[in-house]
Chain A
Amino acid sequence: MTWRRDWSRVRAIVWKDLVTERRSKAGFSSVTALGVTILVLFGFALGPDAQVLRDAAAGALWLAALFAGVLAFSRSYQVELESGALEQLLQYPGSRWTIYVGKLLSNLIFVGLMLVIVIVTAIILFQVRIPATWPSLVAILVLGVVGVVVLGTFYAGMASRIRAREVLLPLLLFPMLVPVLLAAMSASKALLTGDLMHEASAWTRLLIAYDMIFLVATLLAFEHVIEA
C-alpha cells in the first residue's frame, strides 16, 4: 500500500515540476537557447572546416548538454527555495526518496526534450552525417543523459542549500561526470565515424554500470543531504 502512495507522490512531483516549468515560460526556452548558443560558440572556436567540425561534433554536443543541463538542475531546486516550498515538501509524511525520484524523472524529461532540439542543431551546424547505426547512437544518448541527470539532480539538491552554489555545483559535479562524458563522447564519435574498432559496446557497458551504481548510491544518500 505504501508503495502505491509513494509512487503517487512521485507522480505528483513530476506533474508539478513539468506544469510549473511549462507555465513559467522562461525555463525551457532559456535552457534550450543556452544549449544552442554554446554549440554556436563551439562552432566559432573550432573553425568552419567541415571535417574538423564533424570530428568535434560529439564532444561539442555533450558539453553543450552538460552546461545547459546544470542550469536546468539548479532551476529545478530554485523554484522550491524561492517560495519556501522545499520546507513544505519536507513536511509531508512518507519517504523522502520520493522527492528525489520525482525530481529525477522531471529533470530527465526536461533535459531529454532540450537535448532533442540541441542535437538537431548540432547535426545542422556541425554537418554531421547520420550513420546507419543511429539506433545505437540513441541508446548511448539515453544512457549518457541518465548518468548526467542522476548525479546532476543529486548534487544540485545539495548545492542549492549552500551559499556558493553557482561555483560549487560545477566543481563537485564535473569531475564526477568524467566517466560519463568520456564514454558518451567516445562512443558517439565512434558511431558517427563507423565504429571501426567496435568500441561502442564497451562504452555502453560502462555507461550502464555507471548509471546503475550511482542511481543506487544517490538514492541511498539522498536522505542524508536533504535534511538540515
Chain B
Amino acid sequence: MDVQSELAVDARGIARRFGPKWVLRGVSLAVHPGEVVGLLGENGSGKTTLLRILSTLLRPSAGTVSVFGRDIAIAGSEVRDDVSFLAHTPGLYDDLTALENLRFAAEMAGGSSVDLRDLIERVGLARVADERVRGFSSGMQRRLALARMILRRPRLLLLDEPYSNLDSDGTVLMNSVISEAKRTGSAAIIVLHELAPAAGILDRTVTIVDGRVMGPSLSSGSRPKSAAGGIA
C-alpha cells in the first residue's frame, strides 16, 4: 500500500477575524491524499471561511497552512495550481454560454486538453451547451461549476455545500466525480449541512463549532477512521 507522507492539507492553528469578530479561533486540520473529509457545522461557524483560506482567497490572521507541502503564504500561486474551489455561488458569467464559460476557465487555468463538449455532456448539460447561463437553474449552474472543477484536475477539491439545489441525478454525478478524484489520489473537503447526500463517500467528518474544531462527529452513515483533526 502506498504510504504518502505528504499531507494534502496541513493546517495548524488557523484563526481569522473580520473586524472585531473572530470567525475561526485556532483550527487545525490534517487531510491525507485520497481522503474525503466532511466539514459540518452551523451557519456562521466558520466552515466557509476555512475553505476560502485553504483556497488562498483569504489570508489567515494567524496560523499556517500547507497544501501538498507548499506553504500558502509563500507559494500561493503554485498552490492554486493544485486546488479548485466549488463555491456556494457558482461564479459564472451570465451572458456567456456554458461552453464559453468553460473555454474561459480553461484559458485562465493555463490551457486544457480536455474536450469541452465531452465535459459538458458528462455533467448532463449537453442540451444547453450553447445557451447563456443567465437562463440556467441553480442546479444547472452547479453542474457547470462542477465541470469547471473537473477541467482543472485539482489535487485538492474544496466544495462548499455542493449538494444544495441538486436533484438526485446531480447528487450521483457529484459523488462520482469526487470518488474518481479520490481514486487518483486527490483529497476533498466538503462543507455540508447534512450528511445524507455524501454518505457513501466520506472517510470522516470534522465538526466546527464557533470557530473551533470539535471531535469527529458520529452519525449514521459515516464511520470516522482517525482522529487526525485536532481539538483546539
Contact = CB atoms under 8 A, between A and B. Distances in A.
Are any A and B Cβ atoms less than 8 Å apart in their complex? yes
Interface of A: 5, 8-9, 11-13, 15-16, 19-20, 23-24, 79, 83-95, 227-228
A83 B96 contact: no
A89 B108 contact: yes
A88 B77 contact: no
Contacts of B215: none
B91 A92 contact: no
Contact of B104 (A16, A83, A93, A95): A16
B109 A19 contact: no
Nearest to B103: A12
Contact of B87 (A9, A88, A92, A95): A88
Interface of B: 52, 55-59, 77-78, 80-81, 83-85, 87-96, 100, 104-105, 107-111, 132, 148
A85 B110 contact: no
Given A88-B91, A92-B109, A93-B77, A20 B96 contact: yes
A91 B89 contact: no
Contacts of A23: 95-96, 132
Given A9-B107, A94-B110, A19 B59 contact: no
A24 B80 contact: no
A83 B80 contact: no
Given A5-B111, A19-B96, A228 B57 contact: yes
19 contacts: A5-B111, A9-B107, A16-B96, A20-B94, A20-B95, A20-B96, A23-B96, A83-B89, A84-B91, A87-B85, A88-B85, A88-B87, A88-B148, A90-B56, A91-B55, A91-B80, A92-B108, A93-B77, A94-B108
Contact of B93 (A11, A20, A227): A20
A91 B84 contact: yes
A30 to B, nearest CB: 15
Nearest to A19: B96
SS class, residues of chain A in contact with chain B? helix
B173 to A, nearest CB: 20
Given A16-B104, A85-B93, A91-B80, A5 B110 contact: yes
A87 B57 contact: yes
SS class, residues of chain B in contact with chain A? loop
Contacts of A13: 108
Contacts of B89: 83-84, 87
Contacts of B77: 93-95
**Interface-central residue, B90, B93, B110, by most chain A CB under 10 Å:** B93
A93 B93 contact: no
A19 B83 CA distance: 28
B92 A83 contact: yes
A8 B57 contact: no
B59 A227 contact: yes
A87 B91 contact: yes
A84 B85 CA distance: 12
A5 B77 CA distance: 14
A83 B91 contact: yes
A83 B136 CA distance: 13
Nearest to A223: B76
Given A8-B111, A91-B83, A92-B108, 8 more contacts: A8-B107, A9-B107, A15-B104, A19-B96, A20-B93, A89-B108, A91-B85, A93-B81
Nearest to A88: B91
Contacts of B87: 84, 87-88
